[in-house]
Structure 1
């Protein structure tokens, strides 16, 4: 079976809708992911994964994330993760599946929308992600935070 999945912040999606993103640090990409019950083994698995990723979008209300590019072209961000969130950073690894010809990257979730329509067996989320760096340049989100996060804008 072909692995067309994408993993975002450790959450496996069933695929990317549209063209693969061009990784360009300092740019924002709007990525649309789909979740489908027939592409998983567990009946509710796609709903759980969909809700987990949707939570990032819900918590971006009120602009808790600010992004910018310095005069030298370096991307930076500042975040304030709300107390009720189940995650501790808006930084995510965006990693294509084994059979997807695309480059993974580190980014910061800045917004998005729930584009789901019936039938209930399929869900779609659009995620706005500010690109920080190619995925292979940093080992984890803590290293990304050290390199790009600032408390001063």
Structure 2
């Protein structure tokens, strides 16, 4: 197999070995080719990463950037491209796109209801289900709302003096 033109069978073997997680140098050694030959013939083929996912291609990155520039959320872009929201965030961070105002969160009235129910002793799991939140975000949100309430109370007392 060494030297000469790369056949379609050899190219398919290179891609399969790379998809199985072998490094470029291992594939090159097995097939008697140079690393640059393997890279050239496996370009565009998904290659698994150490973390278990696949590298983001330039086309995917550009699609992410275009969708984020249109104002789509990280979750929406991730779902459209089969990626996670943190992955989309990493590849579009330099755009400086902020969430659309008024579309994130429960709003002032929703947070007030959440805080009232939490103060009344409703379980975090029940709050998460009722308000459509992740279970892990409820304690953090309640803590933030209580801190804001304390700070607002303290600032009103300071103004009264």
TM-score class normalised by the smaller sequence? under 0.3
Q: Which has the higher helix share?
A: 2
Q: TM-score, normalised by structure 2?
A: 0.20
**Higher relative CO (CA 8 A, sep ≥ 6), structure 1 or 2?**
1
Query: Considering only CA atoms, is the larger Rg found in Structure 1 or Structure 2?
Result: 2
Higher strand share: 1
Q: TM-score, normalised by structure 1?
A: 0.21
